Amino acid sequence: MRLGLVIDLDVCVGCHACAVACKQWNTSGTTAPLTDYQPYGAEPSGVWFNRIRHYEVGEYPNSKTINFPMSCMHCEDAACVTVCPTGASYKRAEDGIVLVDQDKCMGCNLCSWACPYGARELDRESGTMKKCTLCIDRIYDQNLPIEDRQPVCVMVCPAHARMFGDLDDPDSAVSLTVREREGYQLMPELGYKPTNQYLPPRKAKPIPTENMGKPGFKERLKSLANKIVKR
């Protein structure tokens, strides 16, 4: 079994709900709190397991904003595990989840330098490294209803941009979706074989610009927008 996330870049609206829910769950759940530094100050920061990057792709007016959520990819050949001198970083054989044993971690930062995905964050208060646990304390919790045994980031996403499942099973919903939508791993050339996959944005039709500025253009655009809203 190889559990992981599939993230649809076509529908992610960059709302950060997944990141906030992740922080909330992992602070109040069974893992240690995710530290905040100056939460009400001018430059708040802290430990987050999931961060959303925003990129502008293409040339205006045919440019597009791509919202790119990133958390630990639960790599098959995880560089963070290879370099860890204390054995605190490990990969579970039964489901492929990569974890950090907080009792063994000495906060040396080697794993965070080795991880090419920026998935690890040093908690300066505990002096240990932290990262996405794939919500291991939810997905195996027999006290939760079966439909709730999935990562909280997947559950809260209002755009249904996040899926969770077994990427080793060719018939799982995640594997089928990856095949259908030509999902891809991030930076496969590095050889760490990330489990998480991304579904590419669908190609948008270019906006015809030849009539821009001509009489009646604004009105036609407005009527088109109204039609789309009514639909």
CB 135 within 8 A of CB 150: yes
Residues 6 or more apart whose CB falls under 8 angstroms from that of 179 comprise: none
CB 94 within 8 A of CB 1: yes
Rounded Cα distance between 187 and 193, Å, is: 9
Q: Assess 130 for contact with ligand SF4 (CB under 6 A).
A: no
Q: Assess 174 for contact with ligand SF4 (CB under 6 A).
A: no
Q: Assess 110 for contact with ligand SF4 (CB under 6 A).
A: no
Q: Assess 159 for contact with ligand SF4 (CB under 6 A).
A: yes
187 strand-pairing partners: none
> For ligand SF4, which residue of 3, 6, 17, 122 counts as binding (CB under 6 A)?
17
> For ligand SF4, which residue of 3, 119, 122, 163 counts as binding (CB under 6 A)?
119
Q: Assess 161 for contact with ligand SF4 (CB under 6 A).
A: yes
CB 152 within 8 A of CB 22: yes
CA dihedral sign, ordered 205, 210, 213, 217: negative
Q: Assess 197 for contact with ligand SF4 (CB under 6 A).
A: no
Q: Assess 52 for contact with ligand SF4 (CB under 6 A).
A: yes
What is the binding site for ligand SF4 (CB under 6 A)? 12-18, 22, 25-26, 49-50, 52, 67, 69, 71-75, 78-80, 98, 115, 117, 119-120, 131-135, 151-153, 157, 159, 161-162, 192
